[in-house]
A and B are shown apart, each in its own frame.
Chain A
């Protein structure tokens, strides 16, 4: 597939995602014409570009749907549930058409025919409702003749009535209002010809107007407004901007506008330009132009600039201009930055060894620049999470209909940014969580009514920043987790022993155990015993954690805590024997000393007292079976995992380290407790500790010895 087609496909998928979101909004607010317009524009773009890039099947299919939405825009057709469901099915079809390999149909022709026929039926009913309209939907001919998105043109109109305007009974107000009704207009009035009271003829018109009008009508339509005063006024209509001007947002300078209008001469402009103030002020001060004229020119400038800015925004899909870059290019950029960080560490080490002042200066400069480059490169990979949220609206709609539940789905924090790789890997876990909330969490409307709850359940998907993490939570106001049922099930499946004493939180966490499912029946949606364990394993695979809170009868909240990025992190470099290890700095709370005496005092129970708080610690030397004797004074790196504090005992804390994360490769991928490796300045390799996994390993070895 050539690059252009690929680009079209990507854009079409994005548009379809927006379209689905808009359709679901429309279902809730069927009278909102703004939403209808958004849907229409998206369909229109999919159709138009589809025809341009050779996706003729998509173009002709979407043409019918577009016609239906045009009727909704004209309020001849109502966007009811049937029409919205039909459109959603059409979106699925367009996706299938986009996915089909080139030259193959890949889609069900009968289904397309059925959807098209349903749309045509709706269209003819809509057209029937308004007599005088065309009788059937004209077939798509491949051209783009639609006037739905007529290009808008901006005109400058100078309406300067002669003195005798009032004498034939003309009132300028209706004329100005008629112009305003043609589009988006800015009107400025000039009174500069108004004489003093003594000289004033009270029945003469001394006023004139400049109007900047953006409209889809042509210049003749504007002139028609003034048709009855043509002989007693000057009407100048000049086109100053049209839709073709999308390459730049800049518009003429004030001086140019005034000169164009004939308000100042070229020599006035040139003589003023030699000075250093704002041109408008200078022209007014020097008496070359009047304030009202400059004001009017400024208004024109602002009007057109805003218009172009908006247009550029519409073209790029965002108010900030942006470019589309293949993600592998970004990946290789980040890799290169990673290499650079490693080389910079070598340089820093070298300069420290040489004790050379000049070298140290260069090294520090390189360090600063590298850190900036790193942050920039990582920033480019950040995407707002809202792109993933949009698809869940559709999921909730379809699932709740299928399961006969009423669900109100709300999202917030869509603008929260996360590394692209994290976002890519987040989709499936979130699908599982939301499915579970609808299937197991939210009760049927009857059950809810019996429990005194509103028939409609609520599921909230919230993203927010929290330090170097992003928290994503899925909460529902459903039945909550049943601790007894979970406990019984876990015993039945042999996950816990019958006499295990577990806190409520520990019982909740059992639902993440592999093979666990309490659903009475296996539904199409969930309950197959996979899902929740997939959530934890995939979230933990990229350094995140999963927390669960629940209250019986009130609802459940599952919170995912995710690292902002996966490529380069700030780490704390530590040593044990001669080995280097890196711990993620964002989890580190503090470092305290641990003497042999302290160890003896706790009778080998691996507990340290930190500011009157007992913190359990994990002796890493023993966990990794490293040789050598413990130094007399060791260090405990206290970390925060979820809401708990856990210490890790190391020989020495070296300091902060910019850590470029490298994969361990195929053979070592499944080693638990180590999430990756990094290369140090001197070329040695340091392992990056997965403190979550390490803690879990030690805990389960102590708690559930019967299982392990």
Chain B
């Protein structure tokens, strides 16, 4: 099962949204709600997906849509830590790649391989 929690950053410098475990359609609604709330705060969002084991298309859609909405609102959405192999494998199997994406947020796409999104 997937787990979505807010974690305080060291020194009280804001929070990180930590995603863990297996992110499936069962977690998709919760993920959307949390991200929507974060969008409405108008604050930059930092996420940590390094402990995600696998992800399905439903959750990838939520994350892509969120990234696009944050970009549209001029709000930063960044990744702390790398993208784990489980996510890469799912993206590859689904053929999701920034190369063939139309979204205006593509230049900052978190799915770009081997790049640091900090």
A contact set with B: CB distance below 8 Å: 166, 171-173, 176-177, 187-192, 194-198, 200, 202-203, 205-207, 209, 290-292, 295-296
Contacts of B95 in A (CB 8 A): 176, 187-189, 209
B36 at interface by CB-CB < 8 Å: yes
Interface residues of B (CB under 8 A from A): 25, 28-29, 31-32, 35-36, 39, 56-58, 61-62, 64-66, 68-69, 72, 90, 93-97, 99-103
A202→B64 contact, CB < 8 A:
no
A209 to B99, CA, bound (A): 14
Contact residues in B for A176 (Cβ distance below 8 Å): 93-95
Task: Kindly list 13 other residue pairs between chains A and B, CB separation below 8 angstroms, not including A176-B95, A197-B68, A202-B29.
Answer: A173-B57, A188-B95, A191-B101, A194-B61, A194-B64, A197-B36, A197-B39, A197-B62, A202-B62, A205-B57, A207-B94, A291-B102, A296-B100
User: Which of chain B's residues have a CB closer than 8 A to the CB of A197?
Assistant: 32, 35-36, 39, 62, 65-66, 68-69
Q: List 11 A–B pairs whose Cβ atoms lie within 8 Å, in order of A's numbering.
A: A166-B58, A172-B94, A177-B93, A197-B39, A197-B62, A200-B65, A203-B28, A205-B58, A207-B61, A209-B95, A292-B102
The answer on a CB contact under 8 Å between B25 and A195 is no
- The docked-state distance in angstroms from the alpha carbon of A41 to that of B25 is 49
Contact B32 A202 (CB under 8 A): yes
Which residues of chain B have C-beta atoms less than 8 A from A191's C-beta? 61, 64, 96, 101-103
**Separation of A195 and B72 alpha carbons in the complex (Å):** 12
Cα-based distance from A196 to B40 in the complex (angstroms): 13
- Min CB distance, B89 to chain A, in Å? 9
Contact A198 B36 (CB under 8 A): yes
Taking a contact as CB atoms under 8 Å apart, the answer to whether A192 and B102 are in contact is yes
B76 CB to nearest chain A CB (Å): 15
- Distance between Cα atoms of A171 and B102 in the complex (Å): 24
Which secondary structure characterizes the binding site on chain B? helix
Write out the residue numbers on chain A whose beta carbons fall within 8 Å of the beta carbon of B57.
166, 171-173, 205, 207
Instruction: Write out the residue numbers on chain B whose beta carbons fall within 8 Å of the beta carbon of A209.
Output: 95
**Known contacts A176-B95, A198-B69, A200-B32; A206/B101 CB under 8 A:** no
Give the CA-CA distance A191 to B66 in the complex, in Å. 13
Chain B residues near A203: list those with CB within 8 A: 25, 28-29, 58
Q: Please state if B28 and A202 are interface contacts (CB–CB under 8 Å).
A: yes
- Assembly CA distance A295 to B58 (angstroms): 24
For B100, list chain A residues within 8 Å (CB).
Answer: 188-190, 291-292, 295-296
CA distance A412 to B101 in the complex (A): 47
CB of B24 to closest CB in A, whole Å? 9
* A291 B32 Cβ-Cβ under 8 A: no
Q: Which residues of A contact B99 (CB under 8 A)?
A: 295
Contact: A291 with B68, CB < 8 Å?
A: no
Closest residue to A177 on the B side, CB-wise? B93
List the A side residues contacting B93 at CB < 8 Å: 173, 176-177
* A192 and B104 alpha carbons, distance in the complex (Å): 11
Report B18 CB to chain A, min CB distance, Å.
Answer: 19
User: Taking A176-B95, A194-B68, A197-B36 as contacts, is the C-beta distance between A202 and B102 under 8 angstroms?
Assistant: no
B residues in contact with A173, CB < 8 Å = 56-57, 90, 93-94
Give the residue among A171, A188, A202, A292 with the most B Cβ atoms within 10 A: A202
Which of chain A's residues have a CB closer than 8 A to the CB of B65? 194-197, 200
- Give the distance in Å from the alpha carbon of A206 to the alpha carbon of B66 in the complex: 14
Chain B: CB-nearest residue to A292: B100
Residues of the B chain whose Cβ atoms lie less than 8 Å from the Cβ of A188: 95, 100
Which single residue of chain A is at the shortest CB-CB distance from B62?
A: A202
Q: Which residues of A contact B29 (CB under 8 A)?
A: 202-203
Q: What's the minimum C-beta distance from B52 to chain A, rounded to whole angstroms?
A: 16
Docked pose: A173 CA to B89 CA in angstroms: 10
Identify A202's interface contact among B39, B61, B68, B96, CB under 8 A: B61
Closest-by-CB residue of B relative to A298 is B100
Contact A189 B96 (CB under 8 A): yes
| B25 cross-chain contacts in A, Cβ below 8 A | 166, 202-203
**CA separation between A202 and B35, bound complex, in Å?**
12
Alpha-carbon distance A166/B27, docked complex (angstroms): 13
Q: Which residues of B have CB within 8 Å of A177?
A: 93
Query: A251–B98 Cα gap in the complex (Å)?
Result: 26
Please measure, in the bound complex, the distance between the C-alpha atom of A176 and the C-alpha atom of B72, giving whole angstroms.
31
Chain B residues within 8 Å of A194, by CB: 61, 64-65, 68, 103
CB distance from A301 to the nearest CB of B (A): 14
Q: B94 to nearest A CB, angstroms?
A: 6
Name which of B35, B58, B62, B66 has the most chain A CB atoms within 10 A of its CB: B58
- Set of chain A residues within 8 Å of B61, measured between Cβ atoms: 191, 194, 200, 202, 205-207
Tell me whether A171 and B101 are in contact (CB under 8 A): no
Bound-state Cα–Cα, A194 to B32, Å = 13
Contacts of A200 in B (CB 8 A): 32, 61-62, 65
A194 and B105 alpha carbons, distance in the complex (Å): 13
Known: A197-B39, A202-B29. A290 touches B56 (CB 8 A): no
Min Cβ gap A48→B in Å is: 38
Nearest chain B residue, comparing its CB with the CB of A205: B57
How many angstroms from the CA of A188 to the CA of B97 in the assembled complex?
8
A101 to B28: give the CA distance in the assembly, Å: 78
Which residues of B have CB within 8 Å of A172? 57, 94
User: Which residue of A is nearest B106, CB measured?
Assistant: A291
Most buried by A among B31, B32, B66: B32
Contacts of B96 in A (CB 8 A): 189, 191, 207
Minimum CB–CB distance from B6 to chain A (whole Å) comes to 18
Closest to B29 in A: A202
A205 to B97, CA, bound (A): 17
Q: Which 8 A-B pairs have the closest CB atoms?
A: A202-B28, A187-B95, A197-B69, A189-B95, A295-B100, A290-B102, A202-B32, A292-B100
Query: Which residues on the A side are within 8 Å of B31 (C-beta)?
Result: 202
Contact check, A189 vs B68: say whether CB atoms are below 8 A apart: no
Bound-complex Cα distance A75 to B2 (A): 45
A291 to B105, CA, bound (A): 13
B36: which A residues are within 8 A, CB to CB? Answer: 197-198
Chain B residue contacts of A171, Cβ below 8 A? 56-57
Q: Which residues of A contact B102 (CB under 8 A)?
A: 191-192, 290-292
Chain B residues with Cβ below 8 Å from A292 are 100-102
Q: Which residue of A lies closest to B91 (CB)?
A: A189
CA–CA, A207 and B97, complex, Å: 13
Give the Cβ gap from B42 to chain A, nearest Cβ, in Å: 14
Q: How far is the CB of A303 from chain B (nearest CB, A)?
A: 14
Supposing A202-B58, A207-B57, A290-B102 touch, asked if A189 and B32 sit within 8 A by C-beta, the answer is: no
**What residues on A are CB-neighbors of B72 within 8 Å?**
196
Cα A190 to Cα B101 with chains together (Å): 7
Residues in B with CB closer than 8 Å to A291 are: 100-102
> B56's closest neighbor in chain A, by CB?
A171
User: What residues on B are CB-neighbors of A206 within 8 Å?
Assistant: 61
